[in-house]
Structures are given as C-alpha cells and as structure tokens.
Structure 1
Amino acid sequence: MRQLVAILFADMTGYTALMQENEQLARLKRKRLKEVLEPGIAQFNGKILQHYGDGSLSIFTSAIQAVRCAIDIQKQLQQDPKVDLRIGIHTGDVTVDDDGIYGDGVNLASRIESLAVPGGVFISEKVFDEVKNQEDISTRELGYFELKNVKLPVRVFAIANAGLAVPGRNELQGKTRQPQNRLAVLPFVNMSADPENEYFSDGITEELLNALTKVEGLQVISRTSSFAFKGKNDDIRDIAIRLNVDKILEGSVRKSGNRVRITAQLINAADGYHLWSENYDRNLTDIFEVQDEISGIIANKLRENLAATRPSTIKTSAHNIDAYTHYLKGLHYWNRLTPADAHKAIECFEQAVALEPDYAQAYAMIAGVHSYLGSTGQMLPQKAFDIVQRYAAKALQLDDTVAEGYVAKASSLLFFEWKWKQAYEALQTALRLNPAVTSAYQMLAYYYILTGEKGKAIQIMEEAVQLDPLSTIANQYLGNVYIFGERYDDAIRQADKMLEMNPQMRISIELKAWSMGLKGDWAEALRLFEEVHRLTNHPLKGLMGVGYASAMLGQKEKAIDCIRKIELRQREDPDTVLDGDLAGVWYAIGDWDKAFHHINECIRKHTPPVNFFLEYPTFKALKKDPRYQELMKTQAVHNR
C-alpha cells in the first residue's frame, strides 16, 4: 500500500568498536536505546518497522510528531548511560507491506541519517517545511549536500533545540561530496558618491556572469539568485549555504571623475578564506571597454583557480550607457512577474533599442516578454507572436550567440506555431550557449509536458532551481509542473516557499489554491482564489479559479456569475483571450458542450497548444469524451 509518511532512521554510533573494547557496556547501551526508542516511538504515534543491529527504521503519519519524538529520544539518551545516536528524518511517498518499506524516500532518509552527528537530528527540506512554524521546534540550515545515490543536491537542516548537537557545516566535511566549482557572483557594491553609478556596478556584475557561464567546468548561479543579496550584509558562509556554492566572487566599484577603481575577491565559502584579491585602477574613457577588460581579467583568474579549460568570450552587450540603464530597469520589472510590470519592462527594453539599434540582448528580451503576454492570454496571440518572431530574428541576426534569442524563438514555435521538434532544437542551442539561462529550462519543461513526459518536465525544472534557487519564476514553474505530475504536496511546498518571500504574490497563492483543490479541499481553494481576485484590484480579473472552485462546491450561481464577468472583460478588452478560463469554469459546472466550444475557440485563435492545458489535472475526466481524441488528432498535425 502506497502512503505518504515521515521516515525516521536512528543509528547508534560507535557500537561495533565498543563491542570490541567493552562488550558488556555495548550491550547495556543497546538495551537502553531499545528501552527509550520503543515507548518513545509509540508515544508519538509512530511505528517501528525494522530493527537492524544498532539501528531502527520507523514511520509516522505526521512529520511534526516524528521530529518531536526525535527530540524527546535524544534528550533522554543524554542521561547516563549516555547513548550516541544519529537520527535522520524525511517525508516521502512509499510502499509499505508485510515484507518492508520501499521507495526513494527511504533511501534519502537513510542518507540524511548517515550525514547526522551523534546527539543530532537532521531533517530534509520537506520535513523543515512542515515544522518551521512550530514554536517548540528550532532549526538551523546546514545547506545543500551531494548524497550517495541521490541525483540532485539535498537541502538539509539540523534541529537546534536545547540539548541537541548542532554542527557547523565544516564539521561534516568528508561525510559527503561538497559542491565543486559552483560559483555565485554577488552584485558589486557601488562605493561612489553618486548613486547613479549603481548601474555601472550592476553592469560589471552582469558582464562577469555572462563571461563566466562560458567557462568550462564552472557552474554559475543565475543572476536572479545572486541579485537577491543586493544591498544586504549576509555572512558569506550563509549565502553559500543558501545558493549551494563553494566559491563566491564579490567586489566593489568606486568611480570618481574620469577614474574608476574596481576591487574583486574570490572567496572560499567554507571558511571565508580569500583565494585572491586585486584592485584595478583605470581611466574611464569608455565605460564598456573597462567592463570588458575587467571581466576578461577576472574570468581568466578564475579559470586558473578553478582548473577550467575552455576560454570565455567577452562580448560587449551595449555601448550606450543610457541604453544599458534602460535594459537593467527592464530586467528589474520583468522579474516582478505581473502583466503590468511586463509592460513596463517592454517600455524599458524599447527605450534601450531606440538609443542603441544594434542591442541584440534587448531585442531578445522584448521578444521574451511578448511571448509571456501572448501565451498567458494577456495579449492576442497573433499580435504578440508576430512581435516575438520579428524581434527574436532581429536579435539572432545581430548576434547568434544570444541564448535568450533562441529561447524566444522556441517560445513562438511551442506556443503559437506548434512546431515542437524545431522548438526543442532551438532550446538545445540556447543551453549550449548559456547553461544558466533558466528560461530555456522552463520551455523544455513545457515541451516535455506536450510530449507526455511529465517526469522529465519535473526533473528539468528541479535542475533549473538548482541553478537559480531564489528565482521566483523558476520556483513557480517547478510548482506548476509538480501539479502536472499530480505531486500536490510538493507544489504546496513550492508555493509556501515563494509566499515567504512575498506573501501577496498572486501566482503563488493561485498555485497553492489549485494544489489544495486538487487534493480535495475546494473550500480552502476557494478562499485562496478569492484572495487572488482581491489582489488584482479589478472586479473582472482573477475569476477563473473562483468560478472553478465554486462549481466544485456546488455553488453553480456563483460560478455562472464568474463566467458572465469573464465574458464582460473579454468584450471590454478584446486584446485578451479568455476562452481557456471559460472552458475551465464550464467544465467544472458540468456543461462539457460549452467547455469544448471554448477549447475549439482556443484552437481557432491559436492560443498555446490545447493539449498542454488539457494535461492539467483539472481536466482529467474530459479525456473520456470522444471529442477529446478528435482534438488530439488536430493538435498532432502541428507536432512537426
């Protein structure tokens, strides 16, 4: 029988050695462990499935209870005769039968226990998400670890309640493979008197990131996550833990008149040791030549320290400082993830190309933002993707090494032209040019859902979050593909992670609402959807979820009212395409004729491939209708 459980591994340390030295004491301690363990597990509603030598495997229906049990056990075992015990806890979907327990979660819990220290309780990020708001449970993050037979790095926490052992990360070296050649480039600090020079210091960081992603053997954390620490004074070791890096490059810029001084230092994250540090004094005759020169010097220096071999190619991204300023402002708005901010981003990028007509990167970003608007119904697809195609082609004509140009091209091929194979090839080119461009991972996940490979979609987005762990876009998309894979608890954890950063982020509240509803709690989903609607500050926006959840709760009149408002908005704003929203609410009401009408309207208007949004679990029952198979035949024609 498959079930979601908290898995607790406990293992007595030094037992074999103690048996050789003092067999009587070893047996006494094992007896004491059993006397504490068995009633303790039972007290917190757990169940011991297996005793093995000097350890045990137990399961709990509640992660909170599992952690409280572990704390209680460790505190008891600190008393004489003291028993040195390691405990590791993880939650996972497992199979439990008479012969034992099976599943990836069991292996991961075992690996976390082996990482732990005597007297300590280590937990996975999934368990942390369950216990972080419990007043009686304290935690300390230890960072990401490469664990044996676990593909992706695992984020681990220690329970930090009084009386428990809480090691520093450096104390765990040798127990696991540490990240190697993973680098974060923190935003260079503007030390100039003029705050306007902020854009120059940001530009230095941008050029370094672009150059260093091309250094073979080096993994560079993406811009979004690095810039999350801008203006903050976090400890280097804490930053390294959050970003799962072993080295950090930081620096400062001081500009005065026609002179500029740039300081850069490469730091070993584990101990804060400076691997090297240099100052560069230059004349500021050409701001971008200085950027390129410094970027090249630092990239070469890093190559020496990191034993990477492929030379990086530094290309000037712009020549006009005002154009570059507008470009940086455009990135700022783009990363805020709202339709209104997307339009502001477009304005900034257009100002950049007006000042510098050969600005390839800015053309690529204009294409990328229009793709977002066209694929989400915020703009007529025909109009949006005409711009995407023209601007992506212009970007690649100017510079065929701009990865974002290939991503924008792929978005048109996926969302509008429905040429999936060509889209896949464009995305592979983008990732070859820049492995850190996480938007390419999002497009690949979309491609894998279209081709029925949801497991690959999840895998590719988990890799994207490793590259850009603090990116709201990457984390949001990972949450969405978890829903496609019907992993609703994982999707809720992703939503909660983003809501910690911004409690009013509408897309994250919506992600949580769909996850709660699909788990069966449509009442809580409706409450969350109504909050999304309130945050739009518009009577006609954000109503699809409200209508769907209302219908699922039998509130048909309320659902119909949502439909009428969506239709009114469609009439008032003909540039939007809301047939997908209407199809969803009519489907939830049970009127499949009207649902199929609006699905066919999506096809007629060339909105993103219908078989993409029909893969969303909300439409699961629709696949039984013969009209669904006819639709799939229509879509398959475009899979070329």
Structure 2
Amino acid sequence: MRQLAAILFADMTGYTALMQENEQLARAKRKRLKDVLDVVIEKHHGKTIQYYGDGSLSIFNSAIDSVMCAIEIQHELQREITVDLRIGIHIGDVIIEDEAIYGDGVNLASRIESLAVSGSVLISEKVFDEIRNQSHIQSRELGYFEMKNVKTPVRVFAITNSGIVVPDRAELQGKTKQPVNRLAVLPFVNMSADTENEYFSDGITEELLNALTKIDGLQVTSRTSAFAFKGKNIDIRDIAIQLNVDKVLEGSVRRAGNRVRITAQLINAADGYHLWSENYDRQLTDIFEVQDEISNIIANKLRENLTASQTSHHVKSPPAQNVDAYTFYLKGLHYWNRVTPADMRKAIECFEQAIALEPDYALAYAMTASAYSHLGAAGQMLPDTAFEIVHRYADKALALDPSIAEGHIAKGGAYLFYNWKWKEAYEALQKAVALNPGATTAYNLLSLYYVTVGQKDQALAVMEKAVKLDPLSPMINQALGNIYVYLERYDDAIRQADKLLEIDPQMRASLELKAWSLGMKNEWERALTLFEEIHRLTNHPLKGLMGVGYANAMLGRSAIALECIRKIEQRQAENPELVLDADLVGIWYALGDYDKVFYHIMRCVEKRVAPVSLFLEYPVFAGLRKDPRFRDLKEKMDIKM
C-alpha cells in the first residue's frame, strides 16, 4: 500500500556504550522509551511501524500531529528515568508491505534523525511548510546539509519549543558533508557621497559575481538571492545558512571623480573569520584589472579545495575599453534588474548609449537583445518588431564575442517564444549554461523547452538546480512552482506559492499559481476567490479576467463567464495592438466550446504572441488532447508527441 505520510524516526543516543557500562540501566531506559512511545504516538494519532532495539519508526497522517508528538516525547523523557533521544521527521511517499516500510521518504527521515543531537527534534523543509503558521510550534532554520545517498542538499529546521534542545549548525558539522567552494557575493556597499553612484557599486558586484561564476569548481549563488540582503544588517553566518554557502565575499565601493576605492574581504561563513581582505585605490580606467585581480585572488584562496587545472583558470575581464560606455552599461543593468516594462525601456536607452560610445561592446548588444526579448514575450511590443531586434542585436553580440552567455540566452528565448525552432533553442540555452553555470535565466528557459517537448521530469531537474543556485529568487521559485503544476504535483505547487506569498501577499503570479493548483484539485470556489483578488489587484475593470471566467464556468455560472469574455473582447477592441486570444482560449475551453478554443489558438499561432506550446501542455487544458485538431496543431508547430 502506497501513501503520503509524516515519517518520525526516534533513536536513543549512547545506548551501545551504556549497555557495556550498565546493562540493567540500559534495559530500563529502553523500556522507558518504548512505554512513552506507545502512549504518546497513539495519543497523536500515529502508528508505530517498527521498533528496532533502541529506536522506532512511526508514521502520521498529519505533519502537525507528528511534530506535537515529538515535542511531547522529548518532554516526557526528561523526567525520571531520563532518556537521551534524537528525533527526525520528514513527509514523503511510502510503501507499506507486511509491516515493512519502504521509500525515499523513509531514507531521508532517517538521515535527518542521524543529524540530530540528544533532546532535539529536526524536521525537513516539507514538514516546516506544514507547521510554519502554527503559533504553538516554534522553529529555526539550520540551513542546507548534504546527506549520504541523497542527491540534493536538504534544508533542515530545528523545533525550538520550550524544553527542546536546539543545536547550533556548528554542532552538526561533523555529521554530514559540508558545502565546499560555495560562494555568495553580497552587494558591495556604496560609500560615495553621491547616492546616484548606487548603480556603480551594484554593477561592480554583478561583474565580480559573473566573473567568479566562470571559475571551474566554484559554485556561486546567483544575483537575485545575494541582492536579497542588500541594505540589511544580518549576521554573515545566518546569510550563509540561507544561501547554503561556506564563503562570503563582501565589500564597499567609493567613487570620487575618476578615482575609485574598492574594499573587499573574503569571510569563512562558519566562524566569521576573515580569510583575506584588501583595499584598491585606482583610476577608474583600471577598474577591469581590479575586478580580474580580486577574482583570481579568491580562486587562489580556495586553492586547497580546487584542482590544479581549476585554479589555473583566469577570468576574462569585461571587454569594454571606454569607461563612460561601461558606466552606461552598469546603469542599464541597474534598470534591467528592476524587471518592469518601464525600467526595461530605460535599460535599453542606457545600453544603446553604451553602444554609441563603444560600437563593439558585445555585452551591451546582448543585454539590449534580452531587454527587447522581455518586452516582446510580455506582450509589451508587437512580437514581429521585438524579436527582429532581438535576433539582430544578439547576432551582433555573438559575432563580437561568442563566449558571452547573455547573447545565447537572448537567441534561445527568441527561438523558444517566437520562432519555435526547438532544436536551436535547446542548443543556444545549453551553450549559455556551459559558458555561465550560474545563469539561472537560461535554466528557466531550458525548463520551458523540456515542457514543450514533453520531458517534464527533465524540466523539474533543471529548475531544482536553478533554485539551488538562486534559492531566494522569486522568479526562479515561481518557475519551479509552475513546473510542479505541469507535473500535476499541485500540493507542491501550492506550498511554493505560499512561500512567495509570505514575502509578498499581493504577488499576482503567485496568487495565480495557487489558484490554478487549487482548481486542478477541483477546489474551484477557493480558486475563484484568488482569481477575483488578482482581478482586483490589476486595478482595471477589463484586466485579469481569464481566471475569473474559467473558474465561474467550471462552477456552472456560464453567464458570468460569458460576461468575462465580453469584457476581454472590449479590451481587445480598445487596444488593437494587444492580442488577448490566449485568455479567450481558457474561458471558451471551460465552457466546452472547442470550436472557439481552436479558433483562438490558431490566432495565437498566426500572431506568435503567446507560448502556445506551453499552454497546450498545461493540465488545465488536458481535455484538448483528445481532439484530433490537437495533434494537427502539434504537427504544425513541429512538436513531436
């Protein structure tokens, strides 16, 4: 029998040694443990599957019940006769046969228990997601740990309720493999008198980050996660736990005219010890040499954990010769990272100014291409216009310097969203990842390629790697949630959405992720409440109506769904440059009118404005797959089924 369960491992510490010293006391403690487990586990609706000498394995239908049970067990065992016990809990799929239990979840729960110390209760991230809003259960993050026979690092939390032992991460270091050569580059602080130089210090940080990413054997946390700590006074050790790194680079930048002072220090995350620090006073014209010098020093400081071939790699400096052009490029990056359409247009202006001053500035061409790709894919420009520019600028960038990942990312995005050249998209994005293993934008696009060609498990693997590189990025975490939906893992998608909504309760993309996930679980009333909130947040009577219409249609309220269609068509008429056929596809599908569904899908295909290849794979439209026109459409788009 297969089931999802909260798995609780409990194990006495020091039992074998105690048996050798005082067998009678050891047996008394073991009996005491079993007596407590029998009573408390049953009280919290659990079931003991196995006793094994000095420990036990139990399962629960509720994560909250399992944690409350663990807390009570530890409290009971502090009374006479006291028993030193470790407890680990995880949620996972298990198979129970003939009173035996199997599954990866069992292995992971066991690993977490082995990581614990006497008197503690450690839980996995999945358990934490279930108990995080329970006011009577307190917890604290201990960070990521690499465990034997577990492929990816595991995020572990400690229960901190009164009477429960809470270990420091340092106490657990000897129990598992620690992260090696994982580095976070925190935003360098702008120490200049002019606050307008903020873009300059951010740009220096980003250039260093990109340079370090190219060092073989060094894993660097991506920009979004590192910049999440900008302006915050947080202990380096806590930052390292959240980012799962063992080294942190921080510093400051002071610019005055054409002079610049850069201070940098490399810190060991475990103890806060400074491994290296240096001040650089240079002319602005030497800025590229300073970046290169800092990057190579850090590589050398990590030499003991890198092979000779890895440490011999030298970072290539940014290929800008004109300092003013480089300044405009940094300003462009500043606006680019704000993501909004208005800021994207400002970024384009800055990149174009950089190109005007230095016509062979490959990175500026590549970033201009990426900015236009963003506008075209988001419907902020006519696709024909946007993607013609994307290809032209990306081709120019790659002709100047084929080693920059950004040019390949722009090409890959255009092939994926506009040209529908799947092989070319895959090759461009793989090339980007090979050139810059930290380019999480490429991972995101690559995952969408895998969804398009029906390799959804591969899409998940790619996004899990991206989250590992950029654990605090809202965009990357949102993308992982979307992949969960494609895999029909709706509970995982909801957990992902809830994490993002805890940061920003009005994040429309995350509200939408949760709404569709609830709907696919046939909870359309709850989904409708969220879709109505999304519509409200648009602050426009004609925007954000697709989900509202779809949910109402699924609830049998056809009149409301048809009214949503009327409003979408009104918006289309008022804004002829917009193409809203994808929204109409959704509502007509929910209403069961497949002729209108395929009419609007073909409109999307003709105008190449919506990622048709992706919404065809969305579980919401699963019913289309039985229609013969679906196969014809796949063939038209050259997608193998």
TM-score (normalizing by structure 2): 0.94
Q: How does 1:488-637 map to 2 (within 5 A)?
A: 488-608=490-610, 610-636=612-638
- Per the alignment, residue 286 of structure 1 pairs with 285
Equivalent AA in structure 2 for residue 179 of structure 1 = P
Q: Assess, with a 3 A threshold, how the Cα gap between structure 1 residues 347 and 481 changes in structure 2: closer, same or farther.
A: farther
Deviations 1:47-105, CA, capped at 9 Å, x for gaps: 22222222222221211111111111111111111111111111123334444333322
Find the residue that maps to 2:360 and give its secondary structure: coil
Distance, in Å, in 2 between the alignment partners of 1:334 and 1:542 is: 25
Q: CA RMSD in A?
A: 2.2
- Tell me how far apart the structure 2 counterparts of residues 527 and 347 of structure 1 sit (CA, whole Å): 41
Q: Structure 1 pair 285/332, CA: closer, same or farther in 2 (3 Å)?
A: closer
Alignment partners' CA distance in 2, 1:72 and 1:410: 55
Higher deviation after alignment, 102-111 or 442-451 = 102-111
Counterparts in 2 of 1:7 and 1:349: CA distance versus 1, 3 Å: farther
Q: Which moved more, 1:155-164 or 1:198-207?
A: 198-207
**CA deviation after TM superposition for structure 1 residue 303, in Å:** 5.3
Partner in structure 1 of residue 213 of structure 2 = 213
1:480 is aligned with what amino acid?
N
Please state whether the residue corresponding to 2:637 is helix, strand or coil. Answer: helix
Stretch of structure 1 that moved more, 337-346 or 616-625: 337-346
Equivalents in 1 of 2:397, 2:82: separation in Å? 68
Q: How many angstroms does 1:344 deviate by?
A: 4.7
| Aligned residue number for residue 149 of structure 2 | 149
2:36 corresponds to 1:44: no
The code of the aligned residue for 1:159 comes to I
Structure 1 residues 591, 38: closer, same or farther in 2, change over 3 A? same
Mapped contact 1:204–1:295 kept (Cα < 8 A): no
> Residue 477 and residue 146 in structure 1: after superposition, are their counterparts in 2 closer, same or farther (change >3 A)?
same
Q: Distance in 1 between matches of 2:59 and 2:447?
A: 34
1:281 and 1:339 mapped to 2: Cα distance?
37
Q: Give the whole-Å Cα distance in 2 for the aligned partners of 1:634 and 1:516.
A: 32
- Counterpart of 2:103 in structure 1 is 103
Q: Which residue of 2 aligns with 1:180?
A: 180
Paired residue for 2:195? 195
Q: 1:372 to 1:289 in 2, by over 3 A?
A: closer
Question: 2:25: which partner in 1?
Answer: 25
Deviation sequence 1:146-180 (CA, Å, 0-9, x none): 01111111110000111111111111012100000
Q: How does 1:43-122 map to 2 (within 5 A)?
A: 43-122=43-122
Classify the secondary structure of the residue corresponding to 2:174.
Answer: coil
Q: In the TM superposition, what whole-angstrom CA distance separates every residue of 1:391-439 from its partner, at most 9, and x where no partner exists?
A: 2112212221210110110111222222211211111211111100001
Aligned residues of 1:378 and 1:575 also touching (Cα < 8 A) = no
Q: Which structure 2 segments of 5+ residues have no match?
A: none
Deviation, structure 1 residue 289: 4.0
CA–CA distance in 1 between the matches of 2:578 and 2:66? 49
Match in the other structure for 1:268: 268
1:368 to 367, 370, 384: 370
The answer as to whether partners of 2:376 and 2:382 remain within 8 angstroms in 1 is yes
User: Letter of the aligned partner of 2:157 in structure 1?
Assistant: F
Contact 1:424 1:444 survives alignment (8 Å): yes
Partner of 1:402: 404
Once residues 539 and 348 of structure 1 are traced to their aligned partners in structure 2, the CA distance between those partners, rounded to angstroms, is 35
- Secondary structure at 1:173 match in 2: helix
Alignment of 1:138-537 (within 5 A): 138-256=138-256, 259-282=259-282, 284-286=283-285, 288-289=287-288, 291-292=290-291, 294-296=293-295, 298-299=297-298, 301-302=300-301, 304=303, 306-307=305-306, 308-316=310-318, 318-319=320-321, 323-537=325-539
Q: CA deviation at 1:225?
A: 1.2
Change (3 A) 1:621 1:192: same
Q: Aligned AA for 1:161?
A: N
8 Å contact from structure 2 (residues 200, 330) kept in 1: no
Gaps of 5+ in 1: none
Kindly tell me: are residues 257 and 570 of structure 1, through their superposed partners in 2, closer, same or farther at Cα, counting changes over 3 Å?
closer
Distance 2:618 2:471 in 1: 25
Does structure 2 retain, via aligned residues, the 8 Å contact 1:610–1:635? no
Which segment drifts farther, 561-570 or 344-353? 344-353
Native 8 Å contact 2:266 2:298 kept in 1: no
Q: Conserved in 1, the CA contact under 8 Å of 2:292 and 2:317?
A: no
For residue 126 of structure 1, what is the aligned residue in structure 2? 126
Residue type at the aligned position of 1:51: Y
Shift of residue 576, structure 1, vs aligned partner: 2.5
Distance 1:569 1:171 in 2: 60
**How many Å separate the matches in 2 of 1:90 and 1:196?**
48
On the 8 A contact 1:215/1:303 being kept in 2, the answer is: no
Distance 1:73 1:279, change over 3 A: same
Instruction: Indicate conservation of the 8 Å contact 2:8/2:90, yes or no.
Output: yes
1:484 CA displacement = 0.5
8 Å CA contact 1:421, 1:639 repeated in 2: no
The secondary structure found in structure 2 opposite 1:216 is coil
* Cα distance in 2 between the residues matched to 1:188 and 1:294: 16
- Letter in structure 2 aligned against 1:254: R
Identify if the C-alpha distance between structure 1 residues 544 and 102 changes in structure 2 by more than 3 Å, giving closer, same or farther.
farther
Q: Percent identity?
A: 67
User: Which 10-residue stretch deviates more, 42-51 or 197-206?
Assistant: 197-206
- Does the CA-based 8 Å contact 1:221-1:468 persist in structure 2? yes
Opposite residue 410 of structure 1, the aligned amino acid is G
**1:340 deviation in Å?**
5.0
For the 8 Å contact 1:371–1:408, the answer to whether it is kept is yes
Deviation at 1:328, TM superposition (A): 4.2
Q: Do the aligned partners of residues 556 and 337 (structure 1) sit closer, same or farther apart at CA in structure 2, a change above 3 Å counting?
A: farther
Instruction: State the alpha-carbon separation in 2 of the partners of residues 293 and 41 from structure 1.
Output: 59
Residues 212, 312 of structure 1: 8 Å contact kept: no
Q: What is the CA–CA distance in structure 1 between the aligned matches of 2:385 and 2:94, rounded to whole Å?
A: 48
> 1:103 and 1:177, CA in 2 relative to 1: closer, same or farther beyond 3 A?
same
Change (3 A) 1:258 1:409: closer
Cα deviations by residue, 1:611-633 (Å, 9 ceiling, x for unpaired): 42111110112212222222222
Following the alignment from structure 2 to structure 1, what is the Cα–Cα distance between the partners of residues 393 and 452?
25
Q: State the distance in 1 between where 2:101 and 2:6 align.
A: 12
| More moved, 240-249 vs 321-330 | 321-330
**Residues 16-35 of structure 1, C-alpha deviations (whole Å, 9 max, x = no match):** 22222222111111111111
For 1:460, the aligned partner's letter is V
Structure-1 separation of matches of 2:616 and 2:435: 33
Q: Is the 8 A contact 1:253 1:262 kept in 2?
A: yes
Alignment partners' CA distance in 2, 1:296 and 1:52: 52
SS in structure 2 opposite 1:237?
Answer: helix
Cα deviation, 1:522-544, whole Å, max 9, x if unaligned, reads 11111111111111122221111
Q: CA deviation at 1:603?
A: 1.8
What is the count of residue pairs matched by the alignment?
Answer: 638
More off after superposition, 189-198 vs 435-444: 189-198
User: In 1, are the aligned partners of 2:158 and 2:166 still within 8 Å (CA)?
Assistant: yes
Distance in 1, Cα, partners of 2:326 & 2:481: 33
| Alpha-carbon distance, 1:580 to partner | 1.6
Q: CA deviation at 1:124?
A: 0.8
